[in-house]
Amino acid sequence: MIHFPPGRPTHCCIDHAALCWNLQQIRAKVGPRVKILSMVKANAYGHGAVAVAKTLLAAGGDALGVATLDEGIELRQSGIGAPILVVAGVYGDQLEQFFAHSLTPVIYDLSGLTELDAAVDKRGATIEIHLKIDTGMGRLGLRASELDSWLPRLNALKAVKIAGIFSHFSTAESVDGDYTKKQLEIFTSVVTRLRGAGMTSLFHFANSAATITQPAAYFDVVRPGIMLYGAYPSPAMAQQIALKPVLSWHTKILQLKKVPAGTSISYGQTFVTQRESLIATLPVGYADGYQRVLSNRGEALVRGKRAPVAGRVCMDLTMLDVTDIRNVQQGDEVVLLGRQGSGEISADEMAGWANTISYEIFTSIGARVPRIHINT
């Protein structure tokens, strides 16, 4: 039974029972020794960071990962005391906030490391960081191939304590894992070298895809993201772990209108009825994250049946052709993402219509779409 909010009916349901199930599948896969750092950046991939983080920690998660300082502060202000890693780094004017909220920054270059060490030493304090190594992503991080040049700099640090060292896979979701194997070999050699030099940091590498397919990448910590929310990094991985979708997206029919053949629907006359048609208007649009690229391409569920998007998605409204669905009524529930009856539309399917990935589908759902948390 879906409980609609008062007023505008467009909303998302966040199923915490499914969230716990997904975390339990990860724990079963990695075992009790490996820590789970749950990625809740970007408002927990659009699911609601505070509520999701609390559930994941209560269900056995060990730590949290966010992208920005503000995301970390939001979690702290909600009463969360678990370790929080801020993966997009620290800017010079943010140092006081990292201290005030006990957040752990990621450092990815020597200049940033040196500046942070001097600033923290000047105040007579210490700070724990995680150091990012570039093993082939080509994004942030110290180049693994330059280990000989930066290792002595690590040994010279006074106030910075390196609590963790990690890297990020570029193509772990690929069926062809050659590049993933190459990155793993590089990082393993770095780990061996640093442990041999006496470093006792936590080492971590595995994102969702590697958590599913690369046990050798677990090291001390895994960093699941998209899989927590019940989506797979690639469809083939559904055979290797059973996940449950956490988010569903619902609305109701705002108006039903019977129109004759030859009627233009929405902007630009991109859809013209070829027969007498029944058109349903929904109170959802691209300002809510229902992307404009879904115009004349997407589908939604009405009475368990699929109805195609008719015409262009508008900022606040979207039309469906429900001519072939029996007994449709104004006020009927419409499912944009999720199950209704025997029908289902997954984030991966919607992503296929939009030529994108499920990550973007989730994180694009706007703030004006309420998240209703169920089974908490």
Provide the residue ranges of all domains of the chain, joining segments of one domain with +.
Answer: 34-234, 247-374
Nearest 5°: the CA angle 299, 302, 306 is: 40
* Tokens encoding 290: 């229902």
Q: Which of 35, 41, 54, 132 is catalytic?
A: 41
Cβ atoms of 135 and 167 closer than 8 Å = yes
Using the CB atoms, write b or e for 268-293: b if 16+ within 10 Å: eeebebeeebbbbbbbbbbebbbbee
Euclidean distance between CA atoms 246 and 238, whole angstroms:
15
**CA distances to 288, 317, 320, 338 from 282, in Å:** 12, 6, 8, 17
H helix runs in 6-146, sequence order: 16-30, 41-46, 49-58, 69-77, 95-100, 110-122
Per-residue pLDDT of the chain (376 residues; tens, 9 = 90+): 677 778 899 999 999 999 999 999 999 999 999 999 999 999 999 999 999 999 999 999 999 999 999 999 999 999 999 999 999 878 878 999 999 999 999 999 999 999 999 999 999 999 999 999 999 999 999 999 999 999 999 999 999 999 999 999 999 888 668 999 999 999 999 999 999 999 999 999 999 999 999 999 999 999 999 999 999 999 889 999 999 999 999 999 999 999 999 999 999 999 999 999 999 999 999 999 999 999 999 999 999 999 999 999 999 999 999 999 999 999 999 999 999 999 999 999 999 999 999 999 999 999 999 999 999 8
Q: Which residue has the tokens 């629907």?
A: 265
| Domain 34-234 CATH class label | alpha beta
Euclidean distance between CA atoms 188 and 165, whole angstroms:
12
Task: Tell me the β-bridge partners of 131.
Answer: 107, 165
Instruction: Determine whether 108 is an active site residue.
Output: no
Euclidean distance between CA atoms 12 and 246, whole angstroms:
10
Nearest to 95 by CA among 159, 153, 44: 159
- Element containing residue 183 per DSSP (H, E): helix 178-196
Nearest 5°: the CA angle 211, 215, 218 is: 70
Nearest to 72 by CA among 56, 88, 55: 88
Instruction: Determine whether 218 is an active site residue.
Output: no
Task: Tell me the β-bridge partners of 63.
Answer: 37
Cβ atoms of 13 and 248 closer than 8 Å = yes
Report the side by side order of strands in the sheet with 318-321: 255-259, 277-282, 318-321
* Tokens encoding 249: 């997206």
Euclidean distance between CA atoms 314 and 338, whole angstroms:
22
Say what the pLDDT of residue 177 is: 84
* Tokens encoding 367: 């703030």
Q: What DSSP assignment string belongs to 21-39?
A: HHHHHHHHHH-SSSEEEEE
pTM for the model stands at: 0.96
Nearest to 285 by CA among 318, 307, 309: 318
* Tokens encoding 36: 């789970």
Q: Which of 91, 161, 257, 267 is catalytic?
A: 267
Task: Tell me the β-bridge partners of 129.
Answer: 162
CATH of domain 247-374: 2.40.37.10
φ and ψ at 271, to 5 degrees? -135, 120
Query: What is the amino acid identity at position 175?
Result: V
- Element containing residue 190 per DSSP (H, E): helix 178-196
